[in-house]
Amino acid sequence: MLSRRGFSMSALRKVLSPAFRLDSEWQKRHSDLKALNLGGDYEWIAAVQKKFVGGGRASAVDVDAAACLSEESDQLEDVLELVYKLRHTDNAADLLPSTEYATLRLLLKHGAENELFKVLNDPINYGIFPNYHSAGLLLDHFLRAENFPAAAKIATILMQQEMFDHEVLNLLALYALLKFTELPSEARSFDETIQKKTVVVDEDDINEEELRSMKFPFLKNPFFDGHFDLEETDALVGKALSWFNRELASRIGANGAQIDLLATALTSDLEAVGKAVAKASNVSPSVAATVKSVLEKAVGGIPEEGREENDQFKAIQTISTKLESSTSTSTPALSATVLEALKTVQQAGEEAIVKEQKTLFTDWNTARKARALMQAERVNLRLRIAEIKAEIAQHEARKEELFFFENRVRWEDKAAEQDKLFEEFNLNNKDETVTESEYAKEMFEKALEQKRKQATA
Amino acid sequence: MSVPSAVDKIRFLGNHDFSSQGKFMWEILCQLRNLGQGRIVTKNEWLQKWPTQPSYLKIVKARPGMDRWLQTGVVWVEWTFRGRNLGIYEFSRDLHRSDWRLVHKHEEAELLNNKNAMEEMILPDSFPLPPLQVLLAKKDAQKNNQPFTEAQTRAPLELSIDPQFAMLKPFIKQAPVTKKSHNIYDEVDPEALLDLYGEKLPVKVESWTPGPAGITPRFHIPQQ
């Protein structure tokens, strides 16, 4: 069934090929993990949780093994808890890349979108970042499900981490962003699941009685860095569009001006939009529709009375007319153009990422094994040291016994010293006015002092 | 996402770091993949003081302390200060100023290719002795029939470099004085020293000290 516009059947498959998922290679990790002899997955997770109890800590390898072993949905919460706990220790820097990858794959496997975005939106507390392959998997998953807001959010995460090395992912992310902008304006927002927003606490909810003071040498100046601090949907999507446009300038070519127009409409003021409209030609109807909806929202902000005379309204009208004149119905939707470009690089691009990921799998396995062995060796060495110390103490005691008579003079001197001190402190005469507990305390303190003197002598 | 029903009011005490514009180092690094390994960070203070000379840190390894306010941790960086590559340094103590800024990858080239570098600071290698001391030395030489040369009116200058500028030691050189005078202020080029301030007036935010202001007498002044 060929559509009239001449798009082939393959264009309907708007996503990456199933071979990209590397399911079988990922499953192979279990055979390597079995070699570590960790017992069952539930048991290992419980063991790692026990390590964290009471202020203790587990190592990055432990958490990694727990994350990689997990396959079931009820282990998901526990794995996230372990990752959170590791991130809040000194060893946060040791987090292995395979842990991040395994957690994201587990979240995707069970379609736990709430947890997924909770983790992705909170990099400081979780430390889970997608790598190129997992980013591809995430984009793929959401585009297949036609969840364009979620796919656009993943694209903005790629923009924030500046992961622009693979062209195929750049194009896929751009495609996701464009599909998002082509949605009607009511659907064009990141809801609470996908985007975390800073909650402004109401004045009434602040408990004035419980006043806590926190002292620091220097107080922080509020600063909006316009990158990680972005929370508004339009700002995020606009910035992502302009950055991907810059990275794909050579591939996109003439359509770059249209993407620029979209980005400017979403982020900047009217003057900039006017300039961008002037630069764009043969604007596709989809882009025009999006820009129009943004302009309509701006018009909605101007009060009804005296609207005709308002300067801003007139500016908006000029831009709208210019836009209408630049629009040409023969230009296909921008997302379709990007999709065509994606098709040309898809196979080679996918192969590159897949190859990289396969080598990563083997590297991760060897690294994990090496670290697990090192950890086990360290534990064994610690036990051995304790054993050796006990043995030494034993030998010292035996030596004292054996050389008792040779050291007779030394013992006699020591005894004389003790006698003198007993005399000094009058310990021979038991004072009947002193209570039992006071007497015991006195004796204890004197004995401690003696020990200290002997240590320094 | 529900707002808690009652939030304790937190009062933050400390000096208002008015000259800083940026984020904590750890705030930036903890939001980056791989804890920002290979990325470049710069400090707003450096940008303002020496805008033409590039100063930045390239992250080699970061180990955050993950304390509640993201102020502790150790980061090993390759430090390029005012266009001079100083090698690998460990930054662990003063990361509690929110003055750091991430340099995006497309902006890195601008910094890395900027060839403006700090010039060497030339300071004199000798200084004129105090006039009274010179007079007494002359008198002493006359009394003992010793010659008194011009060179004896000067002494070698051993620089005392503040720990704050310890990293600039390789670039602080001493040279013989061209224009000798009795006054040390005439012999040193003030621009060489003012260059350490750069283009910004010194803003020292006093670190927080407890208690009210007081006077501590330093010398014993005998009663009249």
A residues 114-173 closer than 8 Å to B (CB)? 123-124, 127, 129, 131, 160-164
Report yes or no on A216 lying in a domain: no
Question: In this predicted structure, what is the pLDDT of residue B214?
Answer: 65
**A220 near B CB under 8 A:** yes
Q: A with B: how many residue pairs have Cβ under 8 Å apart?
A: 127
pLDDT band, residue B112 (cuts 50/70/90): very high
pTM for the model stands at: 0.84
Please check whether residue A85 touches B, CB under 8 A.
no
pLDDT at A10: 46
- Answer whether A283's CB lies under 8 Å from A326's CB: yes
Q: Name the more confident of B204 and A50.
A: A50
Q: What mean pLDDT is predicted for residues A274-298?
A: 88
Higher local confidence (pLDDT), B5 or A184: A184
pLDDT for A11 beyond 50: no
Same domain, A42 and A121: yes
Judged against a pLDDT cut of 70, whether residue A433 lies above it is answered with no
User: Minimal Cα–Cα distance from B59 to chain A, Å?
Assistant: 13
Exposed, middle or buried: residue A217 (CB in 10 Å: 0-12, 13-18, 19+)? middle
Please tell me if residue A204 touches chain B, with a CB cutoff of 8 Å. Answer: no
Same domain, A281 and A369: no
Whose CA is closest to A457, among A406, A424, A419, A414?
A414
A325 & A352 share domain: no
Confidence bin at A131 (pLDDT 50/70/90)? very high
Picking from A88, A207, A246, the nearest residue to B7 by CB comes out as A207
Residue A61, in any domain of the structure: yes
Residue whose C-alpha is closest to residue A249's, from A239, A237, A240, A259: A259
Question: Stretch A123-142: mean pLDDT, rounded?
Answer: 96
Q: Please check whether residues A133 and A267 belong to one and the same domain.
A: no
Q: Are residues A177 and A258 in the same domain?
A: no
How many angstroms away from the CA of B52 is the closest CA of chain A? 22
Contact state of A127 with B30 under an 8 Å Cβ cutoff? yes
Average pLDDT, chain B: 89
Distance between CA atoms of B53 and B46, rounded to whole angstroms? 9
Taking an 8 Å cut-off on Cβ atoms, the answer to whether A205 and B23 are in contact is no
Q: What pLDDT is recorded for position A394?
A: 97
Instruction: Based on the fold, state whether residues A326 and A294 are members of the same structural domain.
Output: yes
Of A187, A101, A127, A104, residue with least CA distance to A152 = A187
More confident residue, A210 or B109: B109
Residue B202 DSSP class? -
Domain membership flag for residue A4: yes
**pLDDT band, residue A3 (cuts 50/70/90):** very low
The answer, yes or no, to whether residue B209 has pLDDT greater than 70, is no
| Contacting residues of A for B61, CB less than 8 Å apart | 93
Assess if residue A175 is contained within a domain. yes
A104 shares a domain with A42: yes
B34 pLDDT band, cuts 50/70/90, is: very high
- Between A276 and A364, name the one with better pLDDT: A364
Residue A390 is assigned to a structural domain of this protein: no
Per DSSP, the three-state class of B160 is coil
Same domain? A132 vs A100 = yes
Q: Determine phi and psi for B18, rounding to 5 degrees.
A: -70, -20
Residues A267-276: what's their mean pLDDT? 88
Residue A404 has, within 13 A of its CA and on its CB side, a CA count of 4
Other C-beta atoms closer than 10 Å to the C-beta of A110 total 15
Q: What is the pLDDT of residue A428?
A: 63
pLDDT in tens, B118-174: 999 999 999 999 999 999 999 999 999 999 998 899 999 999 998 889 999 999 999
Does one domain contain both A39 and A103? yes
Please name the member of A123, A212, A216 whose beta carbon is closest to the beta carbon of B14: A216
Q: Determine if residue B130 is left, alpha or beta; phi over 0 gives left, psi from -120 to 50 gives alpha, anything else beta.
A: beta
Element (H, E) at A286: helix A285-301
pLDDT at A206: 75
- What is the number of structural domains in chain A? 3
Among A114, A159, A115, residue whose Cα is nearest residue A135: A159
Q: What's the mean pLDDT when you consider all of chain A?
A: 89
Tens digits of per-residue pLDDT, B47-95? 999 999 999 999 999 999 998 889 899 999 999 999 999 999 999 988 8
Query: What is the distance, to the nearest Å, from the Cα of residue A152 to the centroid of all Cα atoms in its chain?
Result: 18
Does A446 fall in a domain?
Answer: yes
Are A212 and B21 inside 8 Å of each other by CB? no
- Range scoring the smallest mean pLDDT among A108-122, A162-176, A356-370, A433-447: A433-447
How many other C-beta atoms are found inside a 10 Å radius of the C-beta of residue A251? 17
Q: Which domain range does residue A449 map to?
A: 410-457
A64 near A29, Cβ under 8 Å? Answer: no
pLDDT of residue A8: 45
Instruction: Output A377 or B7, whichever has higher pLDDT.
Output: A377
CB B40 within 8 A of CB B60: no
Is A93 in contact with B62 (Cβ distance < 8 A)?
yes
Q: What is the pLDDT of residue B182?
A: 86
In a domain, A405, yes or no: no
Domain assignment of residue A266, yes or no: yes
Name which of A33-47, A206-220, A439-453, B32-46 the model is least confident about. Answer: A206-220
Rg of chain B on CA atoms, in Å: 25
Distance CA A53, CA A47 (A): 10
Do A102 and A143 fall within a single domain?
yes
Phi then psi for residue A219, to 5 deg, are -90, 150
Q: Which residues of chain A are within 8 Å of residue B97 when distances are taken between CB atoms?
A: 218
Residue from A84, A85, A203, A219 to probe the interface with B (highest B Cβ count within 10 Å): A219
Looking at the fold, whether A328 and A367 belong to one and the same domain comes out as no
pLDDT tens for residues A305-350? 777 777 888 888 888 888 888 888 888 888 888 999 999 999 999 9
Best mutation target among A200, A205, A223 (most B Cβ atoms within 10 Å) is A223
Mutate to test the interface with A, among B2, B5, B7 (most CBs of A within 10 A): B7
Interval A23-43 mean pLDDT: 90
d(CA A369, CA A376): 11
Contact A221 B66 (CB under 8 A): no
- A353 and A318 fall within a common domain: no
Which of chain A's residues have a Cβ under 8 Å away from the Cβ of B104?
162, 227
